[in-house]
Amino acid sequence: MAERLGAPGAAGYAAAALVKLDRPEQAIEAFEGSGATSPGRAPLLDYYHALACYEARLYVRADRLLAGVGARSGPRIAGQAARVRADIAKALAAEPGRDVVDWYVARCDALAAGDRPVLARAFCEEALAVAGRRADRHGAAEARERLSRLRPVAQGGP
Amino acid sequence: MKRIITLLAAALSFAFAAPVLAADAPGASNTPDAATAPGATQTTAPGATQAADDALADKADVPAKPPVLPSTASDRATYVHDNIAFGKKGAAERAAHSQADRQGATDTDDAHAEAANRAAHAAAASAAAAANGDSHAAAGQARVRTARTSRTAGTTTTTTTTTPGATATAPTMPTGRGR
């Protein structure tokens, strides 16, 4: 509605409101759905996007977004982004288990079956990223195969 | 939380209304590009966007929970915790127990009421029997009194009748010895 009324950045603010309402998956869909502003334009919205990914347990994705926030935001947001990144680094320090990759792939499948392609893609990309942190790359082929089947999102995504 | 949402909604609605109003204003171009062109919002309502950004920046905080990588095993544990042990099934079991307790209490109350009813019936029957006994006793006593009276009267009569020759003797009151 807001977009139709001529406010191109409205989706980002609506998505940020969803983050505050503790609905991270819906927020990710709003941040990354078709017509959403690409990351990198508004550091504050990127921070909220990263929080949504964090709450949805898409930690690699959140870390990637937060990496771009730090230098372009104010000192307070930059400090918070650094703290969150440090927490994520601790969680990702050890090699993730096979169960972790399987969980992301299963979540991707469930979301794809539920006709939520934006979220499904996010979870499959996370599965691929997490699988890349394993020596045996367990689950990477499955995640890649699923990503190839999901239709690409028009705009958005880190 | 409500304040954030309200502030965001107000800021956004102002941001959306401004370009539309500008497009509708006399002399404005009626082409959609005038309102939807990139940068239109920023140029027409920078204050609203700034207010929304300030509200978001003010409320931006760090996540309360530390990051925990998910796993299918932890999901199963969460499912069991939420739905079986303490969640839905536990709640169902607690509800069943509660229902059983209530039913038990109701049954107990019913049993008590029934026992009280039986006791009341028994008491009433006993009272009725007692009353009947009393009436029987009263009737018996009445019969005894009647018989005693008639016997006494009979004695006098007998005395008078059995001793026709003793008409000279004065009539005496009946005594116990006369029985």
Q: What ipTM was predicted for this assembly? A: 0.84
Nearby residues of A3 by Cβ (< 8 Å), 6 or more positions away: A10, A11, A35
Taking residues B99-110, report their average pLDDT. 64
- Same structural domain for residues A128 and A110? yes
Taking residues A62-69, report their average pLDDT. 94
- Same structural domain for residues A87 and A16? yes
Question: What's the CA gap between A28 and B139, in Å, rounded?
Answer: 100
pLDDT at A34: 76
- Given a cut of 90, whether residue A100 has pLDDT beyond it is yes
Which one, of A44, A36, A29, lies nearest residue A122 by Cα? A29
- Closest Cα in chain B, distance from residue A119 (Å): 16
- Same structural domain for residues A20 and A67? yes
- Count CB-CB contacts under 10 A for residue B80: 13
- Same structural domain for residues A84 and A119? no
More confident residue, A42 or A51: A51
pLDDT at B172: 42
- Closest Cα in chain A, distance from residue B35 (Å): 5
What residues of A are in contact with residue B57 (Cβ under 8 Å)? 44, 74, 76-77
- Same structural domain for residues A78 and A111? no
What residues of B are in contact with residue A83 (Cβ under 8 Å)? 62
pLDDT tens digits for range B75-102: 666 666 666 665 566 566 666 666 766 6
| Domain presence at residue A2 | no
Using a CB–CB cutoff of 8 Å, tell me whether B64 touches chain A.
no
Among residues A48, A63, A91, which one ends one of the domains? A91
| Domain presence at residue A4 | no
Q: Does residue A118 contact residue A33 with C-beta atoms inside 8 Å? A: yes
Among residues A74, A91, A108, which one ends one of the domains? A91
In eight-state DSSP terms, residue B177 is G
Q: Does residue A150 contact residue A111 with C-beta atoms inside 8 Å? A: no
- Given a cut of 90, whether residue A120 has pLDDT beyond it is yes
- The secondary structure of chain A, three-state, reads CCCCCCCCCHHHHHHHHHHHCCCHHHHHHHHHCCCCCCCCCCHHHHHHHHHHHHHCCCHHHHHHHHHHHHHHCCHHHHHHHHHHHHHHHHHCCCCCCHHHHHHHHHHHHHHHHCCCHHHHHHHHHHHHHHHCCCCCCCCHHHHHHHHHHCCCCCCCCC
- Same structural domain for residues A87 and A106? no
Cβ pair B23:A51 closer than 8 A: no
More confident residue, B121 or B169: B121
- Same structural domain for residues A85 and A14? yes
Cβ pair A102:B41 closer than 8 A: no
Using a CB–CB cutoff of 8 Å, tell me whether A83 touches chain B.
yes
- Same structural domain for residues A75 and A35? yes
Percentage of chain B beyond pLDDT 70 is 17
How many residues would you count in chain A? 158
| Domain presence at residue A48 | yes
Domain count, chain A: 2
Among residues A91, A118, A134, which one ends one of the domains? A91
- Count CB-CB contacts under 10 A for residue B9: 14
Using a CB–CB cutoff of 8 Å, tell me whether B12 touches chain A.
yes
| Domain presence at residue A1 | no
| Domain presence at residue A110 | yes
What residues of B are in contact with residue A16 (Cβ under 8 Å)? 8, 56
Report the residue from A6, A100, A103 with minimal CB separation from B19: A6
Domain range enclosing A61: 10-91
In eight-state DSSP terms, residue B169 is S
Cβ pair A59:B75 closer than 8 A: no
- Same structural domain for residues A86 and A107? no
Count how many Cα atoms sit within 13 Å of the Cα of residue B53 in the half-sphere of its side chain.
16
pTM exceeds 0.80 = no
- Same structural domain for residues A103 and A133? yes
Q: Does residue A81 contact residue A66 with C-beta atoms inside 8 Å? A: yes
Q: Does residue A117 contact residue A156 with C-beta atoms inside 8 Å? A: no
- Given a cut of 90, whether residue A130 has pLDDT beyond it is yes
Q: Does residue B44 contact residue B18 with C-beta atoms inside 8 Å? A: yes
| Domain presence at residue A44 | yes
Q: Measured between alpha carbons, how far is residue A132 from residues A35, B46, B156 in Å? A: 30, 43, 136
Residue of A nearest to B62 (CA): A80
- Closest Cα in chain B, distance from residue A157 (Å): 20
Query: Mean pLDDT in chain A?
Result: 89
| Domain presence at residue A138 | yes
Question: What's the CA gap between B39 and A80, in Å, rounded?
Answer: 29
| Domain presence at residue A128 | yes
- Same structural domain for residues A79 and A107? no
Cβ pair B36:A103 closer than 8 A: no
- Same structural domain for residues A109 and A74? no
